[in-house]
């Protein structure tokens, strides 16, 4: 319905329709990195990709990421539909890439779900849906990763990192900074995700230490 008003929506849907249903993962491990901005995802995903001779993919995938700013300005349901569609388009890229090499992903379904839940539910952490609610379940028809790692840093440290980077804030990042409760809801939503759950990694130490921890977890949980 919104394709008439947002031409890019038609292009996203066309890409989505070309994706086969129920994507099958290849023989190589698929590892997702989640976390708020400035938790070190970009640095760590690149380092892991280089160490494992892997393929690095991002959500939303490159084929639609140029339209991200357009959908970020749309009402929440349209914006979330864009990110959800992006995950299914990304799944077809993961399926193909994981037949050739380990796949490292900078954000996937858990991000879409955590931000959606935190946006839809106002108030404090205790106002979120209960722990075993189906909103925390991985979608049955979406290709599942072998491991999801949630990078976390102390809130003050994260804000300092953002300031040092000096990048223009996304709407969500501005909201995270301005609204402590929103940040807490996002982080708690991540922690409640199941099937697969997030393995939390303290990303405060040096990048060498964080990389060592991450590689140990990958070795433990994935057949490399």
The reported pLDDT for the residue numbered 174 is 63
CA distance 182 to 122: 8
Half-sphere exposure of 89 (CA within 13 A, CB side): 22
Tell me: pLDDT of 196 over 70: yes
Instruction: Answer for the pair 164, 157: CB distance below 8 angstroms, yes or no.
Output: no
Tell me: pLDDT of 127 over 90: yes
User: Homologous superfamily of 2-219 in CATH?
Assistant: P-loop containing nucleotide triphosphate hydrolases (3.40.50.300)
167: which residues sit within 8 A by CB, 6+ positions away?
none
pLDDT band at 59 (very low <50, low <70, confident <90, very high): very high
Tell me: pLDDT of 106 over 90: yes
Tokens for 1? Answer: 């319905």
pLDDT band at 201 (very low <50, low <70, confident <90, very high): very high
More reliable by pLDDT, 73 or 37: 73
pLDDT band at 168 (very low <50, low <70, confident <90, very high): low
Sheet of 30-34, strand order: 55-58, 103-106, 30-34, 147-152, 199-202
Mean pLDDT of the chain: 89
Mean pLDDT for 213-219 is 96
Q: What share of the chain is helix, strand, coil (3-state, %, to 5)?
A: 55, 10, 35
Look up tokens 């050739």; give the residue. 100
The reported pLDDT for the residue numbered 20 is 83
Of 36-50, 145-159, 160-174, the least confident: 160-174
131: which residues sit within 8 A by CB, 6+ positions away?
192
* pTM of the complete model: 0.89
The reported pLDDT for the residue numbered 177 is 59
pLDDT digits (tens, 9 = 90+) for 20-51: 887 889 999 999 999 987 788 989 999 999 99
Instruction: Answer for the pair 53, 46: CB distance below 8 angstroms, yes or no.
Output: no
CA distance 77 to 81: 6
- Can you say whether the dihedral through the CA atoms of 141, 191, 40, 37 is positive or negative? positive
**Residue 82: burial class (beta carbons within 10 Å; 0-12, 13-18, 19+):** buried
Q: How many C-beta atoms surround the C-beta of residue 113 within 10 A? A: 23
31: which residues sit within 8 A by CB, 6+ positions away?
48, 102, 103, 104, 105, 145, 146, 147, 148, 149, 218, 222
pLDDT band at 223 (very low <50, low <70, confident <90, very high): confident
The reported pLDDT for the residue numbered 175 is 64
The reported pLDDT for the residue numbered 133 is 95
CA distance 104 to 13: 25
């Amino acid at each position: 319905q919104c394709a008439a008003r947002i031409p890019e929506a038609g292009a996203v849907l066309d890409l989505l329709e070309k994706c086969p249903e129920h994507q099958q993962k290849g023989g190589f491990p698929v590892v997702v990195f989640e976390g708020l901005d400035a938790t070190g995802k970009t640095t760590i995903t690149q380092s892991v990709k280089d160490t494992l001779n892997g393929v690095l993919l991002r959500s939303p995938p490159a084929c639609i990421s140029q339209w991200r700013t357009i959908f970020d300005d749309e009402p929440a349901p349209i914006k979330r539909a864009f990110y959800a569609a992006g995950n299914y388009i990304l799944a077809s890229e993961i399926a193909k890439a994981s037949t050739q090499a380990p796949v490292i992903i900078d954000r996937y379904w858990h991000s879409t779900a955590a931000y959606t839940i935190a946006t839809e539910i106002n108030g404090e952490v205790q106002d979120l849906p209960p722990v075993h609610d189906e909103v925390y379940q991985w979608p049955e028809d979406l290709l599942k990763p072998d491991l999801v790692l949630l990078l976390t840093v102390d809130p003050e440290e994260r804000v300092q990192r953002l300031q040092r980077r000096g990048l223009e804030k996304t709407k969500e990042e501005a909201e995270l900074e301005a609204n402590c409760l929103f940040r807490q809801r996002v982080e708690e939503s991540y922690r409640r995700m199941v099937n697969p759950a997030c393995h939390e990694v303290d990303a405060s130490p040096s990048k060498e230490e964080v990389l060592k921890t991450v590689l140990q977890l990958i070795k433990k949980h994935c057949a490399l």
